[in-house]
Structure 1
Amino acid sequence: MYTLGALSIATKQPSRELMNKPPVGRTVPLITNNMLRNILAQSMYQIVVLLTFQFRGESIFGLNEKVKDTMVFNIFVLCQVFNEINKRKFEGENVYEWICKNKLFLGIIGITIVVQVVIVEFLNKFANTERLNWGQWSSCIGIAAVSWPIGSQVVMCML
């Protein structure tokens, strides 16, 4: 999953604005303050959600253990997919303006989602997962999609 994400980022054409900027020195941190804020916000959200599901999922949501574990796995992967889109552009730029222009990125996101569905729905014995119903899939997608507004809020706070 991360290899495909790295490939999609590496193949993105740099903007004119970026190409016109002077090179940065060796002493400039690799992770900027804006990146660090985004990493911390996304990490905190995912930690809270995943730990809540892991330790209280059975009692709060009325799930059996295997479904709960599958949903934790599914939410984690889907959070990464949504975060791939969020992290493509930040620093106050529109995250979505390029989305239809980059076919490789769309293909990688599509492959990741298809593989996730196959793992959860069809490779139960291999992946030790349980099939999820439409409501559970919707919950996983909805919970993971919250990373979009979190990413947007982090960007808005940085401006």
Structure 2
Amino acid sequence: MVECLKQKGHVVAVTGDGTNDAPALKVADIGLSMGIQGTEVAKESSDIVILDDNFTTVVTVLKWGRCVYNNIQKFIQFQLTVNVAALVINFVAAASSGEVPLTAVQLLWVNLIMDTLGALALATERPSSDLMNKKPVGRTKPLITGVMWRNLLAQALYQVTVLLILQFKGSAIFHVNKKVKDTLIFNTFVLCQVFNEFNARNLEKKNIFHGILKNRLFVGIVGVTIVLQVIMVEFLRKFADTERLNWTQWAACIGISSLSWPIGCIIKCIPVSNK
């Protein structure tokens, strides 16, 4: 039966505790054996051992498994947005003016804080009951879904548009020199990722702040990221090739970046086919 279901494309899980269950546990995609009453043969043939012999534990396992999968998707969407925006802004700027607004050190800084702190923040999201209402993900389903493409392309388009405006019109808008303009671009780009990190908390729901106070680690990591960015811009100017920004310029960077929240809410109103 297990082999028949697998041939039809199903993901098969089998539970068992006896020696006679061992072949099915071995062949199944996921074999679950009993830790107390199960035989040693069954335990060795299974992938997961239920230590308390309680079937409700399986529900917990499923919930955490879906949570891990969902958190991976959140980070992929978040990281692809960062990479697409950085690539496009530097490519367009280099092709049009021969200069890039984001230096190698700044791009390394963005990747450092977004790859590590960003991944850690999104990985700390705990499972919710909503996860169990979703259909199981098939083995042939893509990891990057249509919903993810919708979200990341919308955010990347907004970021690229804003950064290109700052690149070509920033000096005239803010009445600053080139170095301050490049610092504004760098600071706005990083803050856009910080605000977009909140959008990435939920791929489909509009309320991105639901349960955020329960995840203190997420809030703490976002706070640390902001503090590190302030240090990078204001105190490590020689290393980061930046200039100090005044309060008005900081407010402008924050205001521009915060627009990613309403954009994220609006874009989630666009339906996406699950096929």
Length-normalised TM-score, structure 1 = 0.94
Counterpart for residue 71 of structure 1: 184
Name the counterpart of 2:175.
62
AA paired with 1:13? R
Question: Of 93, 116, 130, which residue of structure 2 is paired with 1:17?
Answer: 130
Deviation at 1:84, TM superposition (A): 0.1
1:31 and 2:144 aligned: yes
Q: 1:48 is matched with which residue?
A: 161
The 3-state SS of whatever aligns with 2:243 is coil
Task: Quote the RMSD (CA, aligned, Å).
Answer: 1.5
CA contact (8 A) 1:71 1:140 kept: yes
Q: Is residue 195–residue 258 contact of structure 2 (8 Å, CA) maintained in 1? A: yes
Q: Is the Cα–Cα contact under 8 Å of residues 92 and 156 in structure 1 kept in the other structure? A: no
The equivalent residue for 2:56 is: none
The one-letter code of the counterpart of 1:125 is K
Separation in structure 2 between the aligned mates of residue 115 and residue 105 of structure 1, nearest angstrom: 15
The residue type paired with residue 115 of structure 1 is L
> Gapped runs of 5+ residues in structure 1?
none
CA shift for structure 1 position 34:
1.3
Answer yes or no: is 1:139 the counterpart of 2:252: yes
Q: CA deviation at 1:58?
A: 1.2
Pick which of 10-19 and 145-154 moved more.
10-19
Deviations 1:51-94 (A, max 9, x none): 11112211233221111010000000000000000110131252
Per-residue deviation, 1:99:
1.6
Q: 1:22: how far off?
A: 4.3
Q: Percent identity?
A: 60
Q: Which deviates further from its counterpart, 37-46 or 12-21?
A: 12-21
SS, match of residue 165 in structure 2: helix
Residue in structure 2 matching 1:122, options 228, 235, 239: 235
1:149 is aligned, of 245, 249, 262, to 262
Gaps of at least 5 residues in structure 2 are 1-112
Question: Counterpart of 2:220?
Answer: 107
Distance 2:271 2:205 in 1: 8
Higher mean displacement: 44-53 or 11-20:
11-20
Q: Which has the higher contact order (CA 8 A, sep 6+)?
A: 1
| Helix, strand or coil at the partner of 1:88 | coil
